[in-house]
Amino acid sequence: MLSAIEAGTSSIYCGNQCRWYHGFFDRSIEGTPGPGTAGSGGLSPRCSITYKYAKPFDPDYWADEYSTEYLCILGNNEKFPKSVSKREVMAKCGQADAEQEHSECQKAKAEIESDGSKVLHCGKCSSCSTFHDMAVMDKTKTTITSHMTDCSAKWSLGLLDFPRFPPDSASLIKCLREKGIDFTEDSAEAWEDPANKPSCMQTWVDNIVNDKMLCMWHCLTKFIKTKNSGDFARDQCLQCDEYTSGPAFIKGAGANRRSTGIRSDIKRTQLDGTEWVEKICPIGFYSQPPPALPEASSICITNHAWYSLRWAFENSSGNVVGPWAQYPVFHKKVCMDLNKIIPPPGPGTYRARVVPVGGLGHYTTTPEVTFKPGVDRQISITCRGTTLNPSCTIDGK
């Protein structure tokens, strides 16, 4: 029996939890609310202190330590993809140069695809391992988090079903489809034997309802500001979703943005070099080398917002480097040069942390630049938005 918080107030919520324990892919298993003392199914050691209901990731899928030996491959003239063990290939794709065109990883991918097969993603196949669902993820990669949050918040508050309550998933799916998030709703699209199997849309809806029950307190600000912060390292709602709902979602979907090689609207670079690093599959269907960052030694920020702001350089670890700039008021520009900071910072990637005055702690970061000591090159950035929702973009981008 599940605990009250895991079960929620109707079977739509606790059915997800029951399947976690008693048959993950079997949609014939349903749950009913009730008291109980069951735990969270095993805690991920990385997040168990912060997120009480965190669950462990399945190592056969592209997540956590990213050590899976499996690839999801669609064979030539085959309708459904298969999960294929490729331990030697995945070892090559764990190298630092894996994303580069002539790496051993890319050569291994070319060899797999030489007979007309297609590598869809890293990790085992599941409900979203279809060309249509992967295409939806790609076309919405810059908007899906904000649009998903908007629909989720309205649905959770009952605004999509008013005056009917509690809300059902039909209105949530309608909202998602209207925003272009039209994942497949027929499980036969993904499974050779679709009986009692989830569709891709069901997997995404399961993730939303799980977040509603287990991440609500970490996501309260999303009911006010649904726009994606994009900053995983500082956004507890994104983190709770990752570690509480993520293990079931990644296993249920198979194909997700990271496993297919899509660079999404969630920035995770601050985790690089830490045990929390989150990797993009280097040989997924959409995998390609990361875009080169612009080189610059100085950043100039122009304030086009109706508030005063201050800013400082920030390194890739999220630490402020050097002094804070003076307060540029509306339409004023302030520049700072990394070459002139004492002590001088080393080469690497840097960005500006921009803090609106009176923004109640809200801030944003600018796009990153590559800095090499001695290089004399300037990049201009313009900041707009409100004190609670600031945004900054490179001029001309």
pLDDT in tens, 286-310: 998 877 788 888 899 988 887 788 8
Pinpoint the alpha helices (H) of 223-277: 236-240, 246-253, 257-260
Do 33 and 47 belong to one domain?
no
The SS3 call for residue 84 is: strand
What pLDDT is stored for residue 81 in this prediction? Answer: 97
Q: For residue 15, give Cα distances in angstroms to 18, 51, 164, 169.
A: 5, 21, 21, 13
What pLDDT is stored for residue 7 in this prediction? Answer: 36
Do 76 and 210 belong to one domain?
yes
Which pTM does this prediction carry?
A: 0.74
How many structural domains compose the chain? 3
Do 254 and 338 belong to one domain?
no
The stretches in the chain having pLDDT less than 70 are: 1-13, 31-50, 163-167, 222-231, 233, 265-277, 327-329, 359, 396-397
Supply 9's token pair: 């107030």
Backbone angles phi, psi at 95, to 5 degrees: -80, 160
Do 105 and 253 belong to one domain?
yes
Do 306 and 318 belong to one domain?
yes
Do 199 and 231 belong to one domain?
yes
What pLDDT is stored for residue 313 in this prediction? Answer: 93
What's the angle, vertex CA 329, arms to CA 324 and CA 332, rounded to 5? 90
Of residues 322, 311, 300, 323, the one with CA closest to residue 357: 311
Question: What Rg value do the Cα atoms of the chain yield, rounded?
Answer: 23
Do 200 and 88 belong to one domain?
yes
User: Taking a C-beta distance cutoff of 8 angstroms, is the pair 235, 242 a contact?
Assistant: no
Do 193 and 266 belong to one domain?
yes
| Residue 123 placed within a domain | yes
Instruction: Note down the domain range covering 386.
Output: 298-394
Of residues 352, 366, 368, the one with CA closest to residue 311: 352
What pLDDT is stored for residue 70 in this prediction? Answer: 98
What pLDDT is stored for residue 74 in this prediction? Answer: 97
Angle at which helices 144-156 and 169-178 cross, to 10°: 150
Q: Maximum distance among all alpha carbons in the chain?
A: 66
Q: Which of 233, 256, 289 is the last residue of a domain?
A: 289
Do 279 and 385 belong to one domain?
no
The SS3 call for residue 122 is: strand
Do 96 and 239 belong to one domain?
yes
| Residue 160 placed within a domain | no
What pLDDT is stored for residue 260 in this prediction? Answer: 97
